[in-house]
Chain A
């Protein structure tokens, strides 16, 4: 654990898992008879249980929001910038829960889990899961944790989509919904990016129609390309120019296909890191969940109409340089909320960091988000 961080980190943390043996009927028509959810908690639930916060993760996120797994763990949880003692999501004030989504590959039941019916990993046979299914499973976890109502459900990107779904499916179970860099449905361009990523994986000779575990291999090439493509769409042109420009790794160009530009080196590094930690079948599932999410059309109506069920107070945030989930998508969400006269505030953070901005410690982001969290604190039992 890097010493410099030890002052304001939750420090060493451990994951837990809950086994659910009540069957879960999924949107795709299949049923999971039993499943496990991996989760992590930080801070303490207060005497009345009204200070609990659920954080939903994005495409490649996990339940590991903050802290370190060991003294020599090189990297903290994915939202270390915002979750911890004295931070925006203050673990001194809130009981914070992170959960790995169903279909994930970090402890919750997913494609890498052994299917009890076949004694082999589920692989491609793991059913398609949707945002609605995730919310249903998270709702059951809420009950198991003894939480009646979340003070807030918070998420960025695909996590923000889960927050929206929570507010529609279990309106009474959350007081605040914080939707960051999200969208009420993907654009054609976004679906197209996801499809290119999926094709990269599925056409890799090592994919074996998803049964690669049995061949003791992984579709590494495909997964690498998928991650590189995804990663560059999370950045902006401006930030890439600032970070890398046309800088070369060596002083001269070599007229070959090795790594010459710094940006190439960076992308390959991102791919290296991802391949070792993320399952290709999970990646496919998560991108499909993203593509399918569209609570309005699903209900055969408009976003305003489906959100008429919601009763939480909303805080919506977007980032100006985010072209993958642009501020326009957040405007649509905000409109549907004020169409219903719901309490909603909206902040558009000036940033050239692209979609990844929601993970970063940007001053205005921390300031407004922190102020909103203070408001939630003031409503919680001391």
Chain B
């Protein structure tokens, strides 16, 4: 397995073989393509970008061109084992609604997002006094699609509010480095945050 993003590696570990998956904002289809090849996963990707639609079709995955901000109303309750939202939450207009939608159509959700609490961002904002621009957040404030940035703590607080139970949490760096710092202080050293979650059992 040779995936272009470190969060994809973790997601592949989390997904049960032969499960039915919805990948929201599936980009060029790399993750779904890998999941279907190596784990017999079936499902659909949702993507808005024209070029990515062609890339997904080329990759041989099922892709549906749709704006995620319009919700997932075309999908029925509990249609999927997993609903994945990788590096897309921060670009969605209504992250809290999307999380709710994910757990309506799927049994479990997997979310990954750039950690705004990462030390580089903190230094750039706290000491430099400017909006962070780094390898996690490469765009300038005025042209970034990331309109809802958050930290691990912020995300966990939202989950609590929405009655979402977090099943697993990981923090990784882009180059997949490991170390005790990352384990002890994920909100400080993690560049990408990953969560697997479900609705809190009633």
Is B16 in the interface zone, CB < 8 Å from A? no
- Contact A371:B76 (CB < 8 A) given known A334-B64, A345-B64: no
Is B170 in the interface zone, CB < 8 Å from A? no
Do residues A375 and B58 form an inter-chain contact, with CB atoms below 8 A? yes
Give every chain A residue within 8 A of B66 (Cβ-Cβ). Answer: 346, 348
Give every chain A residue within 8 A of B62 (Cβ-Cβ). Answer: 338, 343-345
Do residues B57 and A372 form an inter-chain contact, with CB atoms below 8 A? yes
Do residues B64 and A371 form an inter-chain contact, with CB atoms below 8 A? no
Give every chain A residue within 8 A of B42 (Cβ-Cβ). Answer: 341
Do residues B54 and A371 form an inter-chain contact, with CB atoms below 8 A? yes
Top 5 nearest A-B pairs (CB, nearest first) are A335-B74, A346-B64, A371-B57, A348-B65, A371-B54
Do residues B53 and A347 form an inter-chain contact, with CB atoms below 8 A? yes
Do residues B64 and A367 form an inter-chain contact, with CB atoms below 8 A? no
Is A368 in the interface zone, CB < 8 Å from B? yes
Give every chain B residue within 8 A of A367 (Cβ-Cβ). Answer: 50, 54
Q: Which of A124-176 contact B (CB under 8 A)?
A: none
Do residues A341 and B20 form an inter-chain contact, with CB atoms below 8 A? yes
Nearest neighbor of B76 in chain A, beta-carbon distance = A339
Do residues A338 and B44 form an inter-chain contact, with CB atoms below 8 A? yes
Q: Which of B23-62 contact A (CB under 8 A)?
A: 42, 44, 50, 53-54, 56-58, 60-62
Closest Cβ of chain A: how far from B1's Cβ, in Å? 23
A341-B62 Cα distance, complex, nearest whole Å: 10
Is A374 in the interface zone, CB < 8 Å from B? yes
Residue pairs across A and B with Cβ atoms less than 8 A apart, 9 shown, are A315-B57, A338-B75, A345-B57, A346-B66, A347-B53, A367-B50, A368-B50, A368-B53, A375-B60
Contact-residue bracket for chain A: 20 to 34
Do residues B20 and A345 form an inter-chain contact, with CB atoms below 8 A? no
Do residues B58 and A364 form an inter-chain contact, with CB atoms below 8 A? no
Do residues A334 and B74 form an inter-chain contact, with CB atoms below 8 A? yes
The CB with the most chain A CB atoms within 10 A, among B50, B56, B58, B79, is that of B50
Give every chain A residue within 8 A of B54 (Cβ-Cβ). Answer: 367-368, 371
Do residues B20 and A344 form an inter-chain contact, with CB atoms below 8 A? no
Do residues A346 and B63 form an inter-chain contact, with CB atoms below 8 A? yes
A98-B62 Cα distance, complex, nearest whole Å: 28
Is A331 in the interface zone, CB < 8 Å from B? yes
Is A247 in the interface zone, CB < 8 Å from B? no
* Interface membership of chain B positions 5-20, coded 1 if the CB is closer than 8 angstroms to chain A and 0 otherwise: 0000000000000001
Nearest neighbor of A363 in chain B, beta-carbon distance = B50
A33-B62 Cα distance, complex, nearest whole Å: 43
Closest Cβ of chain A: how far from B54's Cβ, in Å? 5
Q: Which of B113-156 contact A (CB under 8 A)?
A: none
Nearest neighbor of A350 in chain B, beta-carbon distance = B50
Give every chain B residue within 8 A of A368 (Cβ-Cβ). Answer: 50, 53-54, 57
A98-B54 Cα distance, complex, nearest whole Å: 27
Closest Cβ of chain B: how far from A208's Cβ, in Å? 49
Q: Which of B72-108 contact A (CB under 8 A)?
A: 74-76, 79
The CB with the most chain A CB atoms within 10 A, among B57, B58, B60, B61, is that of B57
Nearest neighbor of A346 in chain B, beta-carbon distance = B64
